[in-house]
A and B are shown apart, each in its own frame.
Chain A
Amino acid sequence: MDEARLELPQGTLDLLILKAVALEPMHGWAISERLQQISRDAVQVQQGSLYPALHRLERRGWVKAKWAMSENNRRAKYYELTASGRKQLAAETATWRRLTDAVDHILRMA
C-alpha cells in the first residue's frame, strides 16, 4: 500500500489501542480512525488485525465491551479501559519509553 506509512512493530498495536480507549469508550471503527488521525497517518493499522486484538484485550480483562447507541442512533460495541487495563497501559508505556530511550541512546553513541 502506501510506502510512506510505517508498519507497526509486533505487540505495539495493543498499546496503541489501550491508549486510544483511555480517554473515552469507543467502538472499533472509531478506534481505527483515531489511530490514523493522532498518528497523523504515519502508521498503518491493518483494520483486520484490530478486532482480534480487541477481543484478546477483552479476554485479558484490560478492556471491557458493551453495546450502546452511537451518535447516529445505531447500535455499536463500545470498548472501555478497565482499572487493570489502566495499570497495564502505564506499565507498557513505561516499558516502551525505556526501550526507545535505550535504543535512541545506543544509536547516538555508536
Chain B
Amino acid sequence: MLSDLLYRIHALLHRDRMETDLQEELQDHVEREAQKHGAAGMAADEAMRRAKMTLGGIDQVRQQTREARGLQWMEDVLQDLRYGLRVLAKNPAFAIVTALTLALGVGACTAIFSVVNAVLIRSLPYGNAERLVNVFTPNPHMGDVPAEAWGPSYADFFDLQRQMHSFATMAAFEPASYSSVTERKAVRLGAARVDGWFFSTLQSSPELGRVIDVADDAPGRHVMVISHGLWQSMFGGRRDVLGKSLRLNGVSYEVIGVMPTAFAYPHETDFPPGVLGKIGQTDLWIPLALSPQQKADRDNFTANVIARLRPGVTVREAQSEMSALMLSLDLLHVGSMRGFGAYVKVFRDSAVGPVRRLMWLLLGSVSLVLLIACGNAANLLLARAAARTHELGVRATLGAARGRIVRQMLTESLLLGLGGGCIGIALAYVCLRGLLLLSPGNIPRLEEATIDGRVLCFAFATAVVTSVAAGILPALLASRVNLLVYLKGAGSRGAVGNHLRSGLIVGQVALVVILLGGAGLLLRSYVKVEGVQTGFSAATVSMDVQVDAKYRTREQITAFYRELLEKVQQIPGGSAAGLTNALPLSHSENVSGFFVEGYANQKEQLVSDRYVTPRYFEAMDIPVVAGRAFDDGDAEKRPLVVMINEAFAKRYFGGRNPVGLRMKTSGPDNPWRTVVGIVHSVQEKSLEAAPTPEVYEPLLQTANDTDGEVSLVVRSVLSSDQVIAFARAALRAVDPDLAFGNVQTMGALVTQATAERRFQTTLLTVFAAMAMLLGIVGIYGLLAYSVRQRTAEIGLRMALGASRMDVVAAVLIEGLRMAVQGLCIGIAVCLAMGRVLAASLYGVSAHDPVTLTTVPALLLVFTVVACVVPAYRAARVDPGSALRYE
C-alpha cells in the first residue's frame, strides 16, 4: 500500500521523465519488433509498419499506461488547478471580491470558534474533568438564594466523607483573602484554604515543589502553594523560590510548591456570582487546618466541596446517595438549621454552564454571517458562470464531459475558498485580539483563546465547505450547457440563473434582517440598562479590607474601624467615608430573617441585611427620604436602631409611616430595633432587576460577626487616585500589616455589571453590520450584473420611448422587490424566534416596535444606496450604441 502511494507520488513528481522513458521504451519495442520482421526478410518500412500495428497504436498504449500508473485523476486536478488559476488571474477583481467575501465569513467564524474552543471544548486541566462534581447543600426554606450558595457544615462534611461510597475522593476548601505587605507594596491576594485531599481530587501536579497533602492540613503548619502568576510577580520566577516565605496577615508562610499556569481553581467563574465572596482569582493555596471546634460545627453551612466520582458511578447515583445521607444527618440539626438537602452538580456545568448560552448565541449569529458570505460568493460565481457561457459551450462542444466541467468549476471555487480561508485566518487573528480587549472578565478561560490546531482545522474545513457550497450550484448550472441552444447562437440560460440569483439575495436579506433585529433588540436593551439610575454615586471610591488574626475581640475590631474611619475622614477637601459589609453590585449580601411589628409576618421571610457605619449613605450619596441617617450615637450599648429602603417600607409597612415603628432582624428572639430612617432604594443586587427590600443596621450594633471583612467607601472632591493614596496612607498608619483589595470606583463596579451585556451586544452589532455590508454588496452585485446583461433590452426600451426615469425606476424596483421579500421573511422569522433572545433582553419586548420599524427603514435606505450606481448606469445607456452592440 505504501509502495503504491510512493510510486504514485514519484510518478506525479517525475511526470515528464516518466513520459520520455515510456516513449523510449515503446520506441525500443517497435524497433526490435521491426528488426525481427526485417530478419525474416521484410522490407524495412513494411517491417516498421507491421511492428507498430502489432503494438496497437503508440498513443493509445501511452494513454493506457499512464492510467495504469494511477495518475490520471491527479493530472486532471493539476490541470484544473492550473487552468483555474489562469482563469482567476484573468479576472482579478472578481477573484479578490469573492475571496474577500469568503475571508470575512471564515475569519469572523474562526475568531468566535477559537473562543468557543477555549471556553467550551478544550479540556479542563483537572485530570478527567468530566468526573468532577461539586456537592452543595441547598435549603428550600432559605429564600431565593442560589443552591450553590450553600455547602455542608464541616461536621456534616466529615460525616459525608466517612459514609459515602460514590466518590473516589472528596475535598473541602474555603475561599479566603490575605494581606501581603512588603516594603514595596501592600496587596490583597485571593486564596483558598484547602484540605489534604484538594489537589489529589483535582489530580493536579505542581510545576515546582509539591502540593498540600494530608499531613500539611493541621493547625500551625504555615506552608503555601502559589500560582504561576504570583511566582512570576512576587518571586521573579526564580527557581529557588521553594523554602522562601511571604508574610500573609502578619504571619510568615513558606512556599512548598508552584502550580502551572493553567491551574486556577477555585476561580470566581467556577461558581455563580458572589458564592466565592470577594476573591476573583486564587493565587495562594493554604492548608485549611480546622480547629477541633470548627470540625464539630454543624451550624455553619460554609464548606465548598469538590469530589471525584468513583469509576462506574453516575452523577445520579451520587446524587441519591448524598440526598439520603443529608436526610439522615438532618436529624442531628436543630431549629432553623434543618431541611438542608444535597445537590451534586457536574463541575463542568458549574464552570462553563452559565456562558454556554452566550457561546451558542455568538456561534449561531456568526454562522449567519458566514451563510450570507457564502450566498454572496455563490452569487458572484453564478454571474461568472453566466459570463463564461461561451467558453464552457466551446469546451462542451469539443467533448468535455459534464463531470469534468463541474470539477473544473468546483476547483476554481475551492481555490477562491482556500485563498479566502488564508486571509480569513489572518483576519481571525486580528479579530481575536479585539475580542479579548472586549472581554467582560467573567467568561472562564476566554483569555486563553488562541488559534490552535483545532481552530486551524475548523477554519480549513469551513473554507472548504463554504466554497463547495457556494460553487456547487453555479457549477451544476454552468455544466448544463445545452449544446443545441448554444450552437444556435442563443446561448442564454440567463433566466434560470437570474431566478436563482435573486432567490439567493432574498434569502441573504432575510438573514441580514434576522441579525439586524437581534442586534437592534440587544442594543435597545443595553441603552436601557446603561440608563438605569443606580441610586449611588459613581465617583465614590471603594476598597475592601479585612483584619487579621491579631484582632481577637469585637472591641479590637471596632476600635480598628473607628480609627481607620477617623484617619480617612481627615482627607483634605472635605469628604465622607463609611464602611459596609456588602457593597451594591458586588454580588455579596447577608440574608437574614426579620419580624415587623404590626405586619402579618410569615415564617421564614428573608431580607438582605446590610451593616453600615453612620456616614456610609453620605459617602455613597444615597439620599435619606424620611427620618434620619445613623449617627455616632447609634453605637454599642445604645438603643438599637435600623434603617430600611423605600421598597421595604412599601412592602412591609404598607400605608404606615415606618419611622419610629419597630422591627427585629434575624430571629424572633432578638431585641426590637426602632426604624429611624428610610433611604432611597438603590440597585443593590443587579442593574437589571427592580430594587428589592433592604434593611440596614449600624455596623457597630450588629449581633453577627462580619469576619472582620468590610468595604471602605470614600466620597471626596479629590481625584480617585488621590483618595486611594490617602486611604492607603491612613491604613498604613493604623495597621502596617494590612492592605486594601478590590480598589475601584463604584462606577467601575457598574461598568463590570454591564460588561457581559456590552460584550454580547457589541459582537452582535458587529456581526449585523458585517451582514448588512455583505447583503448590500450582494444586491449591488446582482443589479450591476443584470443592468450589464440587459444593456440591449434597456436600449431597446429607450428606443421605444421609455424615459431615463422609467429605466431608473425599473432598477430601483428590482432591488427593492428583493429587499422587501427578504424583509418579510426575515421579520416573520424574527417574530417567531423572539423567545431565543427573550432571556437576553431588558426593558424591551421581543416584538419591540422601535426595532421592528428601524430595521426595515435601515435596510430599505441601504438597498436604495446599493441601487444608485446600477440605476445610474442603466440611465446612461445609449440606445443607439446598445442596439448596435447587440
Q: In B12-33, which residues have CB < 8 Å from any A CB?
A: 21-22, 24-26, 28-29, 32-33
Q: Which of B22, B61, B67 has the most CB of A within 10 A?
A: B61
Q: Is the CB of B65 within 8 A of A55?
A: yes
Give the number of residues in B that approach A within 8 Å (Cβ atoms): 27
Set B25, B64, B69: member contacting A59, Cβ < 8 A? B69
Set A33, A51, A58: member contacting B26, Cβ < 8 A? A51
A29 CA to B33 CA, complexed, in Å: 7
Binds B, one of A16-24, A70-78, A86-94, A95-103: A70-78
A9 on interface, CB distance cutoff 8 Å: no
B57 on interface, CB distance cutoff 8 Å: yes
Q: Is the CB of B68 within 8 A of A59?
A: yes
Set B3, B4, B55: member contacting A48, Cβ < 8 A? B55
With A48-B61, A48-B64 in contact, is A59–B70 under 8 Å at CB?
yes
A52 CA to B57 CA, complexed, in Å: 13
A67 CA to B24 CA, complexed, in Å: 11
Q: How far is the CB of B68 from chain A (nearest CB, A)?
A: 4
Q: Is the CB of A48 within 8 A of B69?
A: no
A residues within 8 A CB of B70?
59
B residues within 8 A CB of A12?
none
Q: Is the CB of B68 within 8 A of A77?
A: no
Q: How far is the CB of B12 from chain A (nearest CB, A)?
A: 12
Q: Is the CB of A59 within 8 A of B26?
A: no
With A56-B68, A60-B3 in contact, is A48–B28 under 8 Å at CB?
no
With A47-B29, A48-B61, A51-B65 in contact, is A59–B8 under 8 Å at CB?
yes
B residues within 8 A CB of A25?
none
Set A28, A32, A33, A52: member contacting B68, Cβ < 8 A? A52
Q: Is the CB of B24 within 8 A of A51?
A: no
With A29-B33, A33-B36, A77-B21 known, 12 other A-B pairs at CB within 8 A are A27-B28, A28-B29, A47-B54, A47-B55, A48-B61, A51-B29, A51-B65, A55-B69, A60-B4, A61-B3, A75-B28, A77-B24
The 8 A-B residue pairs whose C-beta atoms are closest, nearest first, are A48-B56, A61-B3, A52-B68, A29-B32, A52-B64, A56-B68, A55-B68, A29-B29
A residues within 8 A CB of B22?
51
Q: How far is the CB of A11 from chain B (nearest CB, A)?
A: 14
User: Can you give 22 contacting A-B residue pairs, CB < 8 Å?
Assistant: A27-B25, A29-B29, A32-B29, A47-B33, A47-B54, A48-B57, A48-B61, A48-B64, A51-B22, A51-B26, A51-B68, A52-B61, A52-B64, A52-B65, A52-B67, A55-B65, A59-B68, A59-B70, A60-B4, A61-B4, A74-B28, A75-B24
Q: Is the CB of B56 within 8 A of A47?
A: yes
Give the number of residues in A that approach B within 8 Å (Cβ atoms): 23
Q: Is the CB of A48 within 8 A of B60?
A: yes
A residues within 8 A CB of B67?
52
Select from chain B the residue with minimum beta-carbon distance to A47.
B55
Q: How far is the CB of B485 from chain A (nearest CB, A)?
A: 40
Chain B binding surface SS class: helix
Q: Which of A51, A61, A67, A75 has the most CB of B within 10 A?
A: A51
Q: Is the CB of B4 within 8 A of A28?
A: no
A53 on interface, CB distance cutoff 8 Å: yes
Q: In A1-48, which residues have CB < 8 Å from any B CB?
A: 27-29, 32-33, 46-48
A55 CA to B26 CA, complexed, in Å: 13
A51 CA to B65 CA, complexed, in Å: 6
Chain A proximity mask over B35-77: 1 for CB below 8 Å, otherwise 0: 0100000000000000000111100110011011110000000
Q: In B474-518, which residues have CB < 8 Å from any A CB?
A: none
Q: How far is the CB of A61 from chain B (nearest CB, A)?
A: 4
A residues within 8 A CB of B3?
60-61
B83 on interface, CB distance cutoff 8 Å: no
Q: How far is the CB of A73 from chain B (nearest CB, A)?
A: 12
A49 CA to B54 CA, complexed, in Å: 11
Q: How far is the CB of B6 from chain A (nearest CB, A)?
A: 9
B235 on interface, CB distance cutoff 8 Å: no
Select from chain A the residue with minimum beta-carbon distance to B56.
A48
A residues within 8 A CB of B33?
29, 47
B7 on interface, CB distance cutoff 8 Å: yes
B residues within 8 A CB of A55?
65, 68-69
Q: Is the CB of A53 within 8 A of B68?
A: yes
Q: How far is the CB of A92 from chain B (nearest CB, A)?
A: 18
Q: Is the CB of B7 within 8 A of A61?
A: yes
B residues within 8 A CB of A67?
21
